Amino acid sequence: MLIKRIRYIIHLFLPPSSWKMPVIIVSGILAGIAVFLFHISRASSYLSDDAKTCVNCHIMAPQYATWNHSSHREEANCNDCHVPHNSVFNKYYFKAKDGMRHATVFTLRAEPQVILIKDAGKNVVQRNCVRCHRHLITNYAMQPFSMQHYKNIESRLCWECHRDTPHGTVNSLSSVPNARIPLPESPVPAWMKNLNQK
């Protein structure tokens, strides 16, 4: 009974005999385009925690350069600060949602002149600041020296006081001269570049 149902459902999605070849060709073309787009967008790199992934879009170069010249470089990568850590599912859901927004904006060339973090991102970064620096915030030995930490921990964002952490005062390449930024590679295959040179 179950096998008959499965065969019936499969039969519903099969094209008529006269359409089989065009459907196979169109499906092959669409699959090829999908694989090509997956390859040139370096989609698999977004599953990692490598900070160089963030400069796949060259527009993020100032953020990468300023982080790379900060003390956070030794302890934290982009995902440590900008992605939730309460569950694996939430981490990859947030990365996918944020990544699709970034990809859409950059593909349509609609990125703003100055990149500012959205509210959802602010909340994530704030929680991660507190998560990583909990031992400093809750150290009662430091309480006489930093009462403001305890008063403001729930009402203010960490970077309201710590403005230069970790991206510096100015998010631009001029704020980090001689920055060694891994530039995005061209998606054009070598054989196609050689055609243009002839």
Q: For the chain, what are the domain ranges?
A: 15-47, 51-172
Res 123: pLDDT = 92
- Residues 138 and 122: beta-carbon distance below 8 Å: no
Res 93: pLDDT = 93
Res 53: pLDDT = 83
pTM over 0.75: no
With the CA atoms of 158, 113, 73 and 133 taken in that order, what torsion angle do they form, in degrees rounded to the nearest 10?
10
Res 124: pLDDT = 94
Res 91: pLDDT = 92
Res 71: pLDDT = 84
Res 122: pLDDT = 92
Res 173: pLDDT = 54
Res 51: pLDDT = 84
Tell me the one-letter amino acid at 88: V
DSSP state string for 181-192 = --PPPP-S-HHH
Cis peptide preceding 144, ω within 30 of 0: no
Split the chain (198 residues) into runs of 10 and give each run's mean pLDDT: 83 81 92 89 82 77 82 89 93 90 83 82 92 80 64 79 77 60 68 73
- Residues 84 and 91: beta-carbon distance below 8 Å: yes
**In CATH, 51-172 is 3.90.45.10:** no
